Amino acid sequence: MSLKIKPKSSRGALAPVAAGTALVLVTYVTPMATLAPTSADLGAGTVARAWILSAMSIGLAGALLAGGLLGDRAGRRRVYIGGLLAVVVGAVACAAAWDPWFLVGARILQGAGGAAVLACGLAILAHSYPPGPERLHSTAVWGASVGGGIAAGSLLAMALDIGTGWRENYIAVACIGALLLVPTLRALPESRSATPCRIDLSGLVLLIVGMVLMVATLTQGRDGVGAPTLVLGLLGFVAFAALWVVERRARHPLVDPELLRHPNFRATTLGALTLGVGMIGMASFLPTVSQTGFGDSLRLASVPPLVWAATSMVAALSVRWLPFPLQGPLLIAALLALTAAGMLAAVSADSTLQLILPMALTGVTTGFLNAILGREAVASVPPDHAAMASGANNTARYLGAACGITLFAVIAANNGTDITDGWKNAVFTASVITLFGAMAIAAQAIFRTRHNARGHGVAPV
């Protein structure tokens, strides 16, 4: 299949980018709904289950910045297609997995491919649609495709609850991804930055090492805080400290330091990180609790995440029809605070059906955040760095998701014999983290407003 197939029109990019983004989220949620049969089939223990859930998040977070930078440099269409191919190959490897750790490796490959799709897809939309109503429409659809992909993943798990109960899902993803390749090649325009940056390999390696050590620390902590946990945590801290030093001195850092001076970019990055740790972590482990804690079937266990995803998709699409703009750090903080309140409502649930209303409420706020965070991240940087901004925002989201998923798996699995009580403790912890993230964003915005009111304006980027 040649990459020389020419796109017909840059305005036809929305449908294939939305479909590709949805497919990444379909395969992202697959182990969340099917962890119980996957673990039984592969003989996965507590540690392996935690890694199966967080593996794709690690691949996404580790490769998003690189995918964005590579897209800016080598061509966003080219990198997007390569990412879609990696998702397909990874799905085939997942379907053929005979060992839990082979599955983990295949999921990391899918994450790396998905990173290219997410980072370059949003940048392609920014290139194809000018600021204004067209850009608002395209980013709203892109945000809705995130929720739509999660909903479709839940529906796929329910429909394919046959055979092994999990391999069929990956086979379906591989087939859908292969079918998307030709129309995607024809529809996407090629674009690249006029002033591309080199990829900071040393910084990228330190970022990946730090993330792996962070997840390993949380997983090891299931047995208490002993010497191995402390050593892993210390090594993770050293890796991130080294990353900070290297990035400050690098000629071409993973994220341009000038971007970090922009308050909206900082707010969207912290907002994405908080959303990943809290809500994505909670939703990821919910089907496992429903099946192993409440004793429900996979189909019933998939209903609350499906409701969450569906309301999220509708909320993201509705952004373009609202008579007032949804933007700014204070709005992000308010939506995160409302998300935390919805999460707390789930703590009192004693059955899967009682989780439907809290998941619907958090779906609305999550949908608004999906639309706002993506648009604000791209809008807060120069056009030449759109892929970098998209990559940074999604890196924060999936770095948070990797930690949040692991946190839920560890807390829920180490609460004696009752996994439901452990999950409720994890929900409470994640809601507090979400609330603190909202407070931090709000405090930054209020401080900046007061600072400007005193006549000390912040220099624009």
Tokens, residue 182: 């030709």
Is residue 4 domain-resident?
no
Q: What is the pLDDT of residue 86?
A: 94
Whether 242 and 332 share a structural domain = no
Whether 294 and 337 share a structural domain = yes
Is residue 3 domain-resident?
no
Average pLDDT over residues 329-347: 91
Q: What is the pLDDT of residue 339?
A: 93
Whether 163 and 283 share a structural domain = yes
Residue 281 has pLDDT above 50, yes or no: yes
How far is the C-alpha of 144 from the C-alpha of 309, rounded, in Å?
Answer: 9
216-230, 308-322, 401-415, 447-461: least confidently modelled range: 447-461
101-110, 266-275, 304-313, 398-407: least confidently modelled range: 398-407
How far is the C-alpha of 263 from the C-alpha of 329, rounded, in Å?
Answer: 8
Residue 216 has pLDDT above 90, yes or no: no
Residue 325 has pLDDT above 60, yes or no: yes
Tokens, residue 147: 């929720």
Q: What is the pLDDT of residue 452?
A: 65
Q: What is the pLDDT of residue 454?
A: 65
Tokens, residue 171: 């086979």
Residue 21 has pLDDT above 80, yes or no: yes
Q: What is the mean pLDDT of the chain?
A: 80
The DSSP secondary structure of 98-137, one letter per residue, reads -SHHHHHHHHHHHHHHHHHHHHHHHHHHHHHS-TTHHHHH
Q: What is the pLDDT of residue 134?
A: 74
Is residue 321 domain-resident?
yes
Q: What is the pLDDT of residue 88?
A: 95
Whether 246 and 276 share a structural domain = no
Residue 124 has pLDDT above 70, yes or no: yes
Is residue 208 domain-resident?
yes
Average pLDDT over residues 181-200: 77
Is residue 2 domain-resident?
no
Mark out the alpha helices in 188-326 (DSSP H runs).
Answer: 201-220, 227-249, 257-260, 263-275, 281-292, 298-301, 303-318
How far is the C-alpha of 144 from the C-alpha of 364, rounded, in Å?
Answer: 11
User: What's the domain range around 424?
Assistant: 10-189+254-453
Tokens, residue 336: 């995160």
Residue 435 has pLDDT above 90, yes or no: yes
Residue whose tokens read 């707010």: 267
Whether 209 and 145 share a structural domain = no
Average pLDDT over residues 238-245: 85
Please identify, among 215, 237, 253, the residue that sits at the C-terminal boundary of a domain.
253
Q: In 3D, which of 111, 119, 198 has the Cα closest to residue 402?
A: 111
* Residue 255 contacts residue 388 (beta carbons within 8 Å): yes
Please identify, among 209, 227, 253, the residue that sits at the C-terminal boundary of a domain.
253
103-117, 301-315, 328-342: least confidently modelled range: 301-315
Tokens, residue 393: 């925002």
Whether 180 and 118 share a structural domain = yes
Q: In 3D, which of 375, 343, 374, 371 has the Cα closest to residue 357?
A: 343
Q: What is the pLDDT of residue 69?
A: 76
Is residue 119 domain-resident?
yes
Whether 65 and 83 share a structural domain = yes
Is residue 133 domain-resident?
yes
How far is the C-alpha of 449 from the C-alpha of 461, rounded, in Å?
Answer: 17
Residue 284 has pLDDT above 80, yes or no: no
Residue 258 has pLDDT above 90, yes or no: no
User: If pLDDT is split at 50, 70 and 90, which confidence band does 80 have?
Assistant: very high
- Phi/psi of residue 83, nearest 5 degrees: -65, -40
The DSSP secondary structure of 152-172, one letter per residue, reads HHHHHHHHT-STTSSHHHHHH
Please identify, among 218, 238, 253, the residue that sits at the C-terminal boundary of a domain.
253
Residue 439 has pLDDT above 70, yes or no: yes
- The structural domain count of the chain equals 2
Tokens, residue 123: 């940048």
Residue 59 has pLDDT above 50, yes or no: yes
Average pLDDT over residues 176-193: 85
Average pLDDT over residues 297-325: 79
Whether 367 and 430 share a structural domain = yes
User: If pLDDT is split at 50, 70 and 90, which confidence band does 380 have?
Assistant: low
Average pLDDT over residues 373-393: 69
How far is the C-alpha of 65 from the C-alpha of 340, rounded, in Å?
Answer: 28
Q: In 3D, which of 387, 461, 335 has the Cα closest to residue 64?
A: 387
* Residue 119 contacts residue 68 (beta carbons within 8 Å): yes
Q: What is the pLDDT of residue 438?
A: 92
User: If pLDDT is split at 50, 70 and 90, which confidence band does 7 have?
Assistant: very low
How far is the C-alpha of 60 from the C-alpha of 349, rounded, in Å?
Answer: 32
Is residue 66 domain-resident?
yes
Whether 327 and 337 share a structural domain = yes
Q: Please state the pTM of the whole predicted model.
A: 0.75
Whether 215 and 301 share a structural domain = no
Cβ atoms within 10 Å of 98's Cβ, excluding its own: 8
Tokens, residue 355: 């989780």
CATH number for the domain that contains residue 411? 1.20.1250.20
* Residue 65 contacts residue 204 (beta carbons within 8 Å): yes
Average pLDDT over residues 47-61: 81
Average pLDDT over residues 357-361: 92
Whether 349 and 239 share a structural domain = no
Whether 81 and 222 share a structural domain = no
Average pLDDT over residues 414-441: 83
Average pLDDT over residues 197-221: 76
Residue 383 has pLDDT above 80, yes or no: no
